[in-house]
Amino acid sequence: MEKQEQDGLLDGEFKYKKNIDGTINKRVVICTHCSKEFQFHRSNSTLKYHLNAKHAFVGAAASPGLRQTTLSERRPLGKSSLDKLTDNIAKWIAKDCRPLSIVEDKGFADVLKVASQDASYKPPARSTITIRIHELYETEKKKKEEALVHTECVALTGDHWTSLSNDNYLGVTAHLITEAWGLTSFALTIMKTEERHFAEACAEQFQTVARRWRIEEKVTTVGTDSARNMIAAARIMPFNHMPCTAHILQRCITVSLADSGFVTALAKCRKIVGHFKHSPANTAELNAEQVSLGRKQEPLAQDVPTRWNSTLEMVKRLIRNQTAVTATLDKQKHKLVLLTPPEWDKLQRLETLLEPCRYVTELLGGEAYVSCSVVLPAFCHLRRVMEVTDEDPAYVVRFKEKFKEDLASRQEHTNYAWLQIATALDPRFKDLRSVPKTDREAVWTTLAGMLHEDSPRRSHTAEEGPAKKRLSLLQMDSDSESEEEVQQDRAIQRYRAEPCTALEDCPLQWWAAHAGAHSQLARLARRYLATPASTVPCERLFSVAGHIVNKKRSALHSENVDKLVCLSNWLKDENESFYVGFYHPFMFTQLKLNINGDTNSISFNSLADGKNHRLT
């Protein structure tokens, strides 16, 4: 009888509690799985609920009608989740330069099904992604327009680019200093052009971009290369022209190499590199020789006239693999003229000459830090490096003299006055050691004149009486300095009395802390320090465009090219640290400025070679 009653409690899942004297308490039952006690009043609902909630794996067998729902498959995604996923797909395609057709790939759909845990999920159609990308472009464009509205000065860089489909584009980037003294840069457009690149057409294109973004009155400088049509266009435009200093430096190297004793050795280097580059079998033999010598397998690099620092990279790789290259060529039948020991020595000297030029080019090519004020100290460093010594052979002397001569002539055609003011407004270099001593006071005089021009002029209104107007006129014609001029001179003196900051400090952070004490000069600092030293930001824009307009997407409409390139630039991750990443012909390099203020020299670590380099 007792066993029958026990089996009636949900097929033996519960049992009555026994009292101390051995009798059965039929008002209390105990779960056989977890020994939890329940009050029992001839109703099994509480017991069934407990089984389904705590012991579903056995409760299902006991009461299949009350079986708990298991989530072996997730519910289909809701509308909000689908919209969010579609927006992120569109953002990913625009940010990482992916083709729109990727949403039609079966493998992509399978990945999304696994990620969303929804077997019924289907990727959005290409037309849907297109609409979302256009909406994303308008949203991001409004943010950039708002940033331009809240700034007083904008610097532009621009250059022309020819796509794979032989279409011409003008790329323009904007650079400005925010209200919080942060340096920011972004693309404005990559606009298709139909006209020939005459000076008038180039000038009109830049002004069209400024009008579209409503910044005609805010543009301070336009940075371009030193092509003749760009220089002529700069004379037409109402903006200051800032020639690319990195282009200038590379042209100096090209001219100096052509007029030196390195020509024959470099010609042999190109032949040797081409011997291995054009033959996979020769490359394999070179790699095997490198392994046998215990060296890392490294391909040789061919120099390209339009690729910065490529000659240096070719020479460095040949020097590093001299033993492997010589041993491989000795085992082969070829018609190459090998390098002689004196020519190998020439290559060693050439590497020493070109290394500082490479580091300066990398330094001037940054856009995440102030670079305009570093131009004159960097050029001053190069002039010191190129000083002739008694140990220099004749061909090195010829190279150095030609380099200094060409750099001096090209520097005259830069916006030298702008560079001087930018250097003076940088608290790291305001001692103007990179400027000739005879010109230093003239720089401060020019700066004082700018303060006078930017000062608010007193307007004579009808409320001012005739006597007051006559007194103002008498004061204007007087030879004595006005109170306003005295205050401006004091502002310059207070700034000059400030100690120079450590060179590892950011000049914008200094101005953020001292803008209140030097309010007049702070406005000029925003104007001059925002200008980039080179057009490298525009070149990076073309690198992005090259990933978008590839062989499979050569028929993209110019409007879509513009939006995709701009979105990829706008959506890039902002790097808040002081590390600067930039594209290099052979590697992706990062620089960390590490500057010694005691010797007034700039040194930095280049991850390209892991060495520390100093610009004195």
Q: What DSSP line would sit under 417-450, residue for residue?
A: HHHHHHHHTSTTTTT-TTS-HHHHHHHHHHHHHH
Q: Report if residue 567 sits inside a domain.
A: no
Confidence (pLDDT) at 35 = 86
- The whole-number pLDDT of residue 460 equals 40
* Radius of gyration of the chain measured on its C-alpha atoms: 36
Question: What does the alpha-carbon distance between residue 392 and residue 389 come to, in Å, rounded to a whole number?
Answer: 6
Clarify whether residues 403 and 431 are in a common domain.
Answer: no
- Of 470, 519, 514, residue with least CA distance to 491: 519
Angle, helices 199-212 vs 228-236, to 10°: value is 60
Pair 432, 481 in one domain: yes
Query: In this predicted structure, what is the pLDDT of residue 122?
Result: 87
What would the pLDDT profile of 95-141 be if each residue is shown by its tens digit?
999 998 899 999 988 888 888 887 888 889 999 999 999 999 999 99
**Domain contains 608:** no
Q: Quick check: 591 pLDDT over 60?
A: no
Q: What does the pLDDT look like over 522-563, one tens digit per residue?
A: 999 999 999 999 999 999 999 999 999 988 888 889 999 999
The answer on 439 and 449 residing in a single domain is yes
Among the candidates 530, 552, 571, a domain finishes at: 530
One domain, residues 347 and 425: no
Q: Which of 171-185, 186-200, 228-242, 601-615 has the lowest mean pLDDT?
A: 601-615
Same domain as 451, residue 343: no
Domain stop point among 135, 169, 204: 135
- pLDDT at position 554 is 86
Of 587 and 284, more confident? 284
Residue at 130 is within a domain:
yes
Full domain range(s) for residue 479: 416-530
Q: Looking at the predicted structure, is the pLDDT value of residue 59 above 90?
A: no
- Please state, in angstroms and as integers, the Cα–Cα distance from residue 12 to each residue in 24, 29, 50, 51, 615, following that order: 16, 11, 14, 12, 87
Name residue 391's amino acid. Answer: E
pLDDT at 3 over 90: no
In a domain, residue 550? The reply is no
Q: Is the pLDDT of residue 474 over 80?
A: no
Is 421 found in the same domain as 404? no
CA angle at 465 for the pair 464 and 470, rounded to the nearest 5°? 100
Residues facing 583 on adjacent strands: 588
pLDDT of residue 575: 43
The mean pLDDT value of the chain amounts to 84
Q: Tell me how many domains the chain contains.
A: 4
Looking at residue 467, its pLDDT comes to 54
Given a cut of 60, whether residue 56 has pLDDT beyond it is: yes
Residue 222 has pLDDT above 90, yes or no: yes
Q: Which of 63-72, 99-108, 426-435, 574-583 is predicted with the least confidence, judged by mean pLDDT?
A: 574-583
- pLDDT score at 179: 92
Pair (19, 45) in one structural domain: yes
Residues 265 and 350 in one domain: yes
Estimate to the nearest angstrom the gap between the alpha carbon of 337 and the chain centroid: 43
Q: 322-330 and 280-292 are packed helices; what angle lies between their axes, rounded to 10 degrees?
A: 120
The pLDDT score that the predictor gives to residue 70 is: 47
pLDDT by residue (tens digit) across 363-373?
999 888 999 99
Residues 6+ apart with CB under 8 A from 500: 427, 428, 429, 430, 431, 597
Residue 389 is assigned to a structural domain of this protein = yes
pLDDT of residue 592: 35
Q: Is residue 194 part of a domain?
A: no
Three-state secondary structure call for residue 373: helix
Across 186-211, average pLDDT: 94
Q: Kind of pairing, strands 14-18 and 611-615? A: unpaired
The DSSP code sequence of 63-99 is -GGGPPPP-SSPPPPPHHHHHHHHHHHHHHHHHTT--
How confident is residue 604, by pLDDT bands cut at 50, 70 and 90? very low
pLDDT for residue 482: 61
State whether 430 and 409 are in the same domain: no
Let me know if residue 68 belongs to a domain: no
Q: What is the mean pLDDT of residues 446-470?
A: 61
In whole angstroms, give the CA distance from residue 616 to residue 607: 20
Region of poorest pLDDT, from 205-209, 388-392, 558-562, 600-604: 600-604
Q: For 267-322, what is each residue's pLDDT tens digit? A: 999 999 999 999 999 999 999 999 999 999 999 999 998 899 999 999 999 999 99
Q: Is the pLDDT of residue 412 over 50?
A: yes
- Do 268 and 383 have their domain in common? yes
Same-domain pairing of 371 and 457: no
Structure confidence by residue, pLDDT tens digits, 384-398? 999 999 999 999 999
On whether both 25 and 131 belong to a single domain, the answer is no
Report pLDDT digits (tens) over 479-526.
555 666 677 778 899 999 999 998 888 999 999 999 999 998 999 999
Confidence of residue 578 (pLDDT cuts 50, 70, 90): very low
Predicted confidence at residue 458, as pLDDT, reads 40
* pLDDT at residue 118, as a whole number: 79
Higher-scoring residue by pLDDT: 92, 58:
92
The amino acid occupying position 420 is Q
pLDDT at 583 over 90: no
- Whether 353 has a pLDDT exceeding 90, the answer reads yes
Confidence label for 464 from pLDDT (cuts 50, 70 and 90): very low
- Is 406 within the bounds of a domain? yes
Among the ranges 72-81, 280-289, 605-614, which has the highest mean pLDDT value?
Answer: 280-289
Flag the least confident range among 9-18, 179-188, 342-351, 401-410: 9-18
Pairing of strands 219-224, 154-162: parallel
